[in-house]
Amino acid sequence: MPRQGVVMLLAVARALRPVARSVRTPVRPRSTVAEAESRFITGHPDCNVTPYIANLVGRDLHKKSAHPLGIIKDRIEAYFAGLETSYDVFDGEDPVVTTTQCFDDLNIPPEHPGRSKSDTYYLTDTELLRTHTSAHQSQHLRQGHEAFLCTGDVYRRDEIDASHFPAFHQMEGVRVFEKEEWESKGVEAVDLARDELRTPLEGLARHLFGDVEMRWVDAYFPFTEPSMELEIFFKGEWLEVLGCGVMEMQILEEAGLGDKRAWAFGLGLERLAMVLFDVPDIRLFWSDDKRFTKQFEAGMFKAGGVDMRKFKPYSKYPPCLKDVSFWLPKDAEDGSNLFSENNLCEVVRDAAGSLVEEVKLIDEFENKKKGLTSNCFRIVYRSMERSLTDDEINTIQEKVREDMVAKLGVELR
């Protein structure tokens, strides 16, 4: 389930010098750390949720009407409210779901990488932080909803850079068709569902981006067939807007709707908000800094961002770069390895929270004699809201190095 990176004009922001100082922390927990920990950090051997992640849950950025994510969500909901079909709207489901909801119900096979502990945050062996809003498709269908939208925060252990954050927001849409609808048109059920998804979703893209060039690209999702992605040509490049397809029959059958057909789509709110509002770094969405929050107002959206006030980067505080070189651990007998880039990112996130901007591999070589591979990663630390001190970064970096040895089994060089 890849998310494409979004190319951003970071240079503008970098050129600006800091103008103000603030000591706010970017993430304000909804509950105390202890409360969050007791629910998400279960002590189960499979639990890999960290305090930092636990404290992102429940911020409900998508429900804030003056936040860029809430503004885009409201705009999409308003579009669907204007269509002939009436869509039920959900945005408050618990992000803790079961492996059945997130994977089994959706035909996602046991060996799919999205299920692995290195990609996903588990509370126990059967409960996790949802990795996509598709986790709620089956439950809403079983409850009798035949056209609905469902928005929420989703979580993925992932790389660290300006367009990836372990929590982000998705919107799901589903629409079911009855036998009479394809029979009266004299077409196959699957063709009806596929044809019927094009018009509303192209209309949605125009509602967001204005009169743009579009193309449909074949895609693969385990829960739809055929599957496709809608791309638009925007600011000089092709941008993926959403993934969608005709829902696999198994999902409808298990929801007691075996005589019907349906389409489904899913989209990421951050991706859209970043390009439409010119937000250069995904971490900004989580910032409580007034210089960010004050720039957005409910209902300010205009299609394609034309004549709309964009985000003005206020300043970038200087980055602090630290490199770490190490020998990778050898594979265990079963071929597994404690080290992976995602696991390294989790170690860094755990020590640095939102002070880490990027983690990237800058060098790799093999020592044939030793039979070992060496990696060098560069960690870029930067706060969105203040200057960092050498002391605090050294303390964080020391913790990262210790955890790399203890948790990832690497040998520092």
Residues in the chain: 413
β-partners of residue 363 are: 376
Q: What is the smallest separation between the CB atom of 63 and ligand PHE, expressed in angstroms?
A: 20
**Residue span binding ligand PHE (CB under 6 A) among the ranges 209-217, 263-271, 311-319, 400-408:** 263-271
The DSSP symbol for 125 reads S
Q: Which residues contact 409 (CB under 8 A, 6 or more apart)?
A: 329, 338, 339
Task: Candidates 79, 148, 265, 311: give the one binding ligand PHE (CB under 6 A).
Answer: 265
Q: Which two tokens stand for residue 32?
A: 């105390």
Nearer to ligand PHE, 93 or 357 (CB): 93
Smaller CB separation from ligand PHE, 240 or 358: 240
- List Cβ neighbours of 34 (8 Å cut-off, separation of 6 or more): none
**From its phi and psi, is residue 311 left (phi > 0), alpha (psi between -120 and 50) or beta?**
beta
Binding segment (CB under 6 A) for ligand PHE, from list 24-32, 75-83, 259-267, 345-353: 259-267
| Sheet of 320-327, strand order | 356-367, 372-381, 320-327, 411-412
Pick from 68, 266, 280, 313 the residue near ligand PHE by CB under 6 A: 266
In the complex, the smallest distance separating the C-beta of residue 243 from ligand PHE, rounded to whole angstroms, is: 4
Residues between 71 and 100 that touch ligand PHE (CB under 6 A): none
Give the nearer residue to ligand PHE in terms of CB position, either 122 or 221. Answer: 221
Q: Which residues of 273-301 are buried (b: 16+ CB within 10 A; e: fewer)?
A: bbbbbbbbbbbbbbbebebbeebbeeeeb
Q: How many residues bind ligand PHE (CB under 6 A)?
A: 12
As a whole number of angstroms, the distance between CA 109 and CA 176 comes to: 24
Choose the binding region for ligand PHE from 89-97, 188-196, 237-245, 312-320 (rule: CB under 6 A).
Answer: 237-245
Q: Which of 123, 167, 244, 255: binder of ligand PHE (CB under 6 A)?
A: 244
| Least distance between ligand PHE and beta carbon 271 (Å) | 11
Gyration radius from the chain CA atoms: 22
Question: Cβ 252 to ligand PHE, closest distance in Å?
Answer: 13
Which positions from 117 to 156 touch ligand PHE by CB under 6 A, shown as an x/- string? ---------------x-x----------------------
The answer to whether 25 touches 323, Cβ cutoff 8 Å, is no
Establish if 264 lies at the interface with ligand PHE (CB under 6 A). Answer: yes
Residues of this chain that bind ligand PHE (CB under 6 A)? 1, 132, 134, 172, 221, 224, 243-245, 264-266
